[in-house]
Structure 1
Amino acid sequence: MTRRTSKLDRRLVAETALRLLNEVGLEGLTLRAIAHELDVKAPALYWHFKDKQALLDEMATEMMRRMAADTAAPPSDDWRDTFRTRMHGLRAHLLRYRDGAKVYSGTTFTDTSYADGMEENLRVLVVAGFTPRAAARAWLTAYSFTIGYVIEEQAMGPDPFAGTEGYDVEARAQRLAAYPLSAEAGREMFQDHERGFDEGIGAIIAGVEATLLRRGA
């Protein structure tokens, strides 16, 4: 249990929730459990969060604050490098938390801590020749892919927080012995997530360059 040593506020609750998340996962994360961790009564949290979704919004915002603090300036003027580096950085930060991508997905940020980074990233694309509209579409495409990829990656394992093994691709292949292409696909889809993610981002980069950038030109 975390003994409360400072005034209870939204950020302290969110920080405690993120720490507890790694122990119990999203399904086990309740306001009651967080209150117990903070050594307060559960109703005290409702002064700050009307429901669990409001808490998730603040947790995602705290994740973004930490990500922004860790993120350096764009690595180069090459939009492809910025694109790839930023998406690998997003994936790495989501993987720091058990069910991190699920927590992050579909939330509404509670402040503008994301805005500086977003503005800079979009500017790199616009300078490279994307229209503002095409830059936004390109970024959203890669952003959505990254979050979806990590949701699947964390769901299929391995789970470093729970100590569980990853998806048994060999058992899957045996079940699909009559479907050789589908059986072999499992080895590509459920192993070596780092390589798979990088190849996926590479495909997105090639796609937006061939469509959105050229359309702008």
Structure 2
Amino acid sequence: MQLTRESIITASLDIADTYGLADMTMRRVARQLGVAPGALYWHFPSKQALIAAIGQTICAPVLDDAATVTGTTWTEATLAMCARLRAALLDHRDGAEIVSAALSDATLHTQLTATISAALGVGDELSRGHRETGAVTLLHFIMGETLHEQSVAAIRIAEGAALPTEASECGETTFRRGVAVVLRGLGAPCDI
């Protein structure tokens, strides 16, 4: 097998999904790929660069669909975009932690805020300043809320407790309410 950026990202994400981000070491990735750890550094200069690439991969479904903003109003479009980002994070164990670490790379941060800003721009009702501020605020809220949700789930699993069905419903409700609060602050009608 030829070692490529894509094969390294795939192996790294498999390890993170199975064991968690804390156990995704360069040595473990190299062992899974059957190469010396130094071979990984040919493609990624550091573990942080690898995490940035993994974060990009996790967010790819959201970024790829950014051109197809759904919703007839800016509130509907933004709720849909925020829900898609949350879903992408929840699709991977420690997804929010990985993407949060990847946001130190300005490229991903810029791409995600631009995507949310585009949803906020549907109907051209908000000023550019409000869209930019709203996008950053929503991104930080999404990351924080989803990180909290995944952390609570991980602790319960580590303690051997089953996650109650209502936990995911509660997470969804809290998430939607939080997004609605930000949207109301930007001037959305109160019926969201």
Task: Tell me the SS of whatever aligns to 1:105.
Answer: helix
CA contact (8 A) 2:71 2:77 kept: yes
Pick one of 168, 173, 177 that aligns with 1:195.
173
Work out which of the two has the higher radius of gyration on C-alpha atoms and give 1 or 2: 1
Task: Tell me the SS of whatever aligns to 2:187.
Answer: helix
Distance change >3 Å, CA 15–CA 67, structure 1 → 2: farther
Matching residue of 1:148? 144
Structure 1 gap segments, 5+ residues each: 169-186, 211-217
Matching residue of 1:176? none
For residues 195 and 83 of structure 1, what CA distance do their matches in structure 2 show? 16
CA RMSD between the two structures? 3.2
Shift of 1:204: 1.2
Pick one of 157, 164, 167 that aligns with 2:153.
157
Q: Answer yes or no: is 1:49 the counterpart of 2:27.
A: no
CA contact (8 A) 1:77 1:124 kept: no
Distance change >3 Å, CA 94–CA 164, structure 1 → 2: farther
**Identity, % of aligned pairs?**
24
Distance change >3 Å, CA 158–CA 111, structure 1 → 2: closer
CA contact (8 A) 2:17 2:92 kept: yes
* TM-score of the superposed pair, with normalisation by structure 1: 0.72
Matching residue of 2:133? 137
For residues 157 and 93 of structure 2, what CA distance do their matches in structure 1 show? 6
Q: Answer yes or no: is 1:66 the counterpart of 2:61.
A: yes
Aligned residue-pair number: 184
Shift of 1:53: 0.7
For residues 133 and 207 of structure 1, what CA distance do their matches in structure 2 show? 13
Task: Tell me the SS of whatever aligns to 1:75.
Answer: coil
